């Protein structure tokens, strides 16, 4: 019973944690990076027409223009590399969670003044800056001048800091759409449009016909990509881990079920005389089997129910429990600079609980069949003669 309890509780907890990782990947990582991206050969000023066409595509719930590049940010003697995204704040709210996760400053300032920048919390901490401070952007593109070959530099004012609680806090910075076009010499307008789908799993299949339709109607060459090219391996790894860990933990329940087998076999051996007497006074072999099936099933049901009673509350509170432990002992299980999230997520799905319960009860029932059959095959005369 204790073995079943432990197996069921641990399996529910681990499946909930893996569900949490899956949810965080969707909401944090894929809430920040594009579900799909349509890129032009060069920046276009008629991108609003492209956006309107994309907005009417089935499954698309948001579109936003994008200019992007990479550079080095320098401040207070510190240098960090970062991806720079040029966005329109109003449109960005329809495709990204970043504007809703500002911890300081204002995301809309990117439109209110020139050469403003919004940093991830990790970048801001590494550079030691807060809103109102200045940072220097060094773009890895040499400029030939009378003084020789010099890198391109630009001073930017920090407009705000965002935090989504993921590794992207250390990798992303946002500037205005026009500022990015000028900084990276992309020309006027937008070089790409990012899309948000109501179901992110539709993006890999849906983006191709959508991009081809827009290219044909507007007579412009278009490249496209989806989130599986940048984050697909991570998502597949989580799905694979969930499957493998569930399989391994199922073996815990199987071992507990084997304990039921061994326990009932010992009971049958110990109660051979009692079984013989019951069969002598008229108890049928099927009734003898029923006795041991009921005994084993009761063990399975009680062990499973206690496991559920432990696993469900633990799954619902594991994030807070770990946070309290981290605060009390001064450690961090997940370093945001190394992992894509900063805490231990958990999402309890009742479908998982029902699956675990059904599997546990089924294994418990199967575990009773051999001992029950062995008990039903006892011959009363042989046993009673031996007892005499």
SS3 call for 85 = strand
202 and 248 belong to one structural domain: no
The pLDDT assigned to 128 comes to 92
Band (31; pLDDT cuts 50, 70, 90) = confident
SS3 call for 37 = strand
**Has residue 144 got a pLDDT over 70?**
no
144 lies in some domain: yes
261 and 317 belong to one structural domain: yes
| Structure tokens belonging to residue 320 | 């807070």
Given a contact cutoff of 8 angstroms between Cβ atoms, the answer to whether 220 and 192 are in contact is: no
Long-range contacts, 81-84 (Cβ 8 Å, 24+): 82/120, 82/123, 82/171, 82/172, 82/173, 83/171, 83/172, 83/173, 84/137, 84/173, 84/174, 84/175, 84/180, 84/183, 84/184
| Boundary-marking domain end, from 230, 264, 292 | 230
Band (142; pLDDT cuts 50, 70, 90) = low
The pLDDT assigned to 185 comes to 86
**Has residue 310 got a pLDDT over 90?**
yes
338 and 358 belong to one structural domain: yes
Across the range 366-383, mean pLDDT stands at 82
Given a contact cutoff of 8 angstroms between Cβ atoms, the answer to whether 14 and 346 are in contact is: no
**Has residue 234 got a pLDDT over 70?**
no
239 and 271 belong to one structural domain: yes
Other CB atoms within 10 Å distance of the CB of residue 327: 9
Band (137; pLDDT cuts 50, 70, 90) = very high
**Has residue 218 got a pLDDT over 70?**
yes
The pLDDT assigned to 204 comes to 84
Average pLDDT over the chain reads 84
12-21 pLDDT, tens digit per residue, is 888 888 888 7
57 and 90 belong to one structural domain: yes
The pLDDT assigned to 363 comes to 84
366 lies in some domain: yes
190 and 116 belong to one structural domain: yes
Residue in this structure with the two tokens 């008229």, named with its chain if needed: 282
129 and 163 belong to one structural domain: yes
258 and 382 belong to one structural domain: yes
Phi and psi at 95, nearest 5°, equal -130, -5
Burial track 106-133 (b if 16+ CB lie within 10 A, e otherwise): ebbbbeeeebbbbbbbbbbbbbebebee
258 and 193 belong to one structural domain: no
| Boundary-marking domain end, from 230, 249, 278 | 230
Band (114; pLDDT cuts 50, 70, 90) = confident
Separation between Cα atoms, residue 160 and residue 107, nearest integer Å: 6
Beta strands in the chain (DSSP E): 36-44, 60-75, 78-87, 102-105, 116-120, 134-145, 148-162, 172-176, 190-197, 222-226
220 and 307 belong to one structural domain: no
Task: Provide the β-strand partners of residue 155.
Answer: 136
**Has residue 148 got a pLDDT over 60?**
no
Choose between 89 and 262: higher pLDDT. Answer: 89
**Has residue 149 got a pLDDT over 70?**
no
SS3 call for 306 = helix
The pLDDT assigned to 307 comes to 92
7 and 141 belong to one structural domain: no
| Boundary-marking domain end, from 230, 262, 288 | 230
Across the range 230-254, mean pLDDT stands at 72
Domain that holds residue 110: 33-230
Least-confidence region, from 157-171, 292-306, 329-343: 329-343
What's the structural domain count of the chain?
A: 2
59 and 19 belong to one structural domain: no
The pLDDT assigned to 371 comes to 85
Given a contact cutoff of 8 angstroms between Cβ atoms, the answer to whether 363 and 257 are in contact is: yes
CA neighbours closer than 13 Å in the CB half-sphere of residue 370: 14
**Has residue 309 got a pLDDT over 80?**
yes
**Has residue 387 got a pLDDT over 70?**
no
Given a contact cutoff of 8 angstroms between Cβ atoms, the answer to whether 54 and 218 are in contact is: no
Band (173; pLDDT cuts 50, 70, 90) = very high
């Amino acid at each position: 019973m204790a073995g079943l309890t432990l197996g069921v509780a641990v399996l529910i907890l681990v499946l909930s944690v893996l569900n949490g990782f899956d949810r965080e990947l969707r909401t944090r990582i894929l809430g920040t990076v594009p579900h799909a991206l349509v890129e032009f050969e060069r920046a276009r000023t008629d991108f609003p027409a492209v956006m309107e066409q994309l907005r009417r595509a089935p499954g698309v719930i948001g579109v936003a223009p994008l200019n992007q590049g990479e550079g080095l940010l320098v401040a207070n003697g510190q240098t960090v590399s970062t991806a720079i995204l040029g966005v329109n704040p109003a449109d960005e709210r329809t495709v990204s969670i970043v504007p809703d996760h500002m911890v300081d400053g204002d995301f809309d300032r990117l439109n209110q003044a020139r050469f403003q920048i919004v940093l991830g919390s990790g970048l801001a901490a590494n550079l030691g800056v807060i809103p109102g401070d200045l940072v220097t952007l060094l773009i890895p593109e040499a400029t030939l001048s009378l003084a020789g070959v010099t890198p391109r530099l630009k001073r930017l004012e920090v407009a705000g800091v965002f935090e989504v609680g993921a590794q992207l806090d250390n990798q992303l910075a946002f500037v205005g759409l026009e500022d990015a076009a000028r900084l990276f010499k992309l020309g006027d307008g937008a070089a790409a449009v990012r899309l948000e789908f109501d179901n992110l799993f539709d993006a890999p299949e849906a983006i191709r016909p959508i991009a081809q339709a827009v290219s044909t109607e507007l007579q412009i060459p278009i490249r496209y990509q989806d989130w599986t090219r940048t984050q697909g391996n991570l998502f597949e790894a989580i799905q694979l881990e969930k499957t493998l860990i569930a399989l391994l933990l199922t073996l815990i329940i199987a071992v507990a079920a084997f304990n039921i087998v061994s326990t009932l076999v010992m009971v049958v051996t110990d109660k051979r005389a009692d079984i013989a007497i019951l069969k002598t006074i008229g108890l049928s072999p099927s009734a003898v089997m029923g006795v041991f099936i009921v005994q084993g099933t009761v063990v399975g049901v009680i062990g499973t129910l206690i496991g559920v009673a432990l696993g469900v509350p633990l799954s619902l509170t594991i994030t807070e429990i770990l946070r309290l432990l981290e605060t009390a002992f001064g450690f961090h299980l997940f370093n945001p600079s190394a992992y894509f999230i900063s805490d231990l997520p958990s999402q309890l799905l009742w479908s998982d609980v029902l699956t675990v319960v059904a599997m546990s009860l089924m294994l418990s029932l199967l575990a009773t069949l051999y001992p029950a059959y062995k008990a039903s095959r006892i011959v009363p005369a042989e046993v009673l003669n031996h007892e005499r």
